[in-house]
Amino acid sequence: MNENAPKPSAASPEQTRELIAQFQKDYAAARDEIAKVVVGHGNIIDGVLTCLFTGGNALLEGVPGLGKTLLIRTLAEALDLDFGRVQFTPDLMPADITGTEIVRETEGGGREFVFEKGPVFTQILLGDEINRATPKTQSALLEAMQEKRVTAAGHTHTLPEPFFVMATQNPLEQEGVYPLPEAQLDRFMLKLVVGYSSRTELAEILKRTTTGAKQAVNKVLDAKTILEHQKLVQRVAIADHVQDYAVRLVLATHPGGEFAPPNVTSFVRVGASPRAAQALVLGGKCRALVAGRPSVAIEDIKSIALPALRHRIALNFEGQAEGMTTDDIVRNIAQTLPVDAPMPAS
């Protein structure tokens, strides 16, 4: 494990450069370990690692067989963290995730209630095919995803640090799936859409999976290093005009708002929440560090806009009838929103 993890104290310019270089090294190491097993999907890997280094949750959407579960499982192998997996099915109950109180006999022959922890009590939780379960069961993760704790039978139990939910879901057009509650979608920092592999990538997949070859994944990051890198991300500088751009991106998703383009007012029912602005800024800070910069640029915010906003926007009936997608809405906003705008008077 890395003995040179960044320290939370104030750093000189030279120390800052060293911390950024160490961040880049650890980020690249995790990326390389995943790439040993997962072919292609570079933008998806970057999205998952962005969530890892900012403390966010990731949602991967795609049809079965594209490597979503493999990617998350490989990431878990590269991290020295506790890993748990829940296969979501229609008959899964909330207590199957969070745990429940059971009656246990004491040494004196009496009985007592004891909380039996569920699989959520881990550090990285894979929620596989999360939208196969009912909304009631899906909502069992709400408190864990936002507050990193679980309340059961009137008692609150804190989850270990760091804690992430990395979930996969099938497209809503498939049979046997339930849409995720909007409150839960909002708790995913990024939604990453996994597409099909190219001709070259598919050939490489066959080479790796049909010849008996096995790739060993090494553990390159531990909990302490990850938590320290998360603190470093928090300390990355962001200028007022760059932060204001992130704010205006979010406000532009609100129909009828000051910054909303015509297609938002016409086709959007609900815009993005303040968590979207947090995702844009934190994601932008992580992208800046990956590029070796100590401050966030407008392009860092733009690069994270699509995965940070696409799942936080709901189309109205007209938008659905016109065949619009939330990706179309976000791309239009990013293309038309002015980079600079007068700051309001204080």
pLDDT at 6 over 80: no
**pLDDT score for 8:** 43
| All structural domains of the chain with their residue ranges | 1-223, 236-341
Neighbours of 335 (CB within 10 A): 9
Q: 1-223 has which fold?
A: Rossmann fold (3.40.50)
Residue 5 CA to residue 228 CA, distance in Å, equals: 6
Judge contact between 111 and 70, C-beta under 8 A.
no
Q: In the structure encoding, which two tokens stand for residue 140, read together?
A: 């069992």
- Print the SS3 string covering 7-46: CCCCCCHHHHHHHHHHHHHHHHHHHHHHHCCCCCCHHHHH
Judge contact between 33 and 78, C-beta under 8 A.
yes
| pLDDT, tens only, 76-93 | 889 988 888 999 988 888
DSSP, collapsed to helix, strand or coil, labels residue 115 as: strand
| pLDDT, tens only, 273-318 | 999 999 999 999 999 999 999 999 999 999 999 999 999 999 999 9
Give the pLDDT mean for 186-211: 88
The CATH number fitting domain 236-341, selected from 1.10.8.80, 3.40.50.300, 3.40.50.12780, 3.30.930.10? 1.10.8.80
Query: 2 falls in which pLDDT band (50, 70, 90)?
Result: low
Residue 8 CA to residue 230 CA, distance in Å, equals: 10
Encoded amino acid at 89, one letter? T
Encoded amino acid at 274, one letter? P
Among 187, 114, 101, 82, CA closest to 144:
187
pTM passes above 0.75: yes
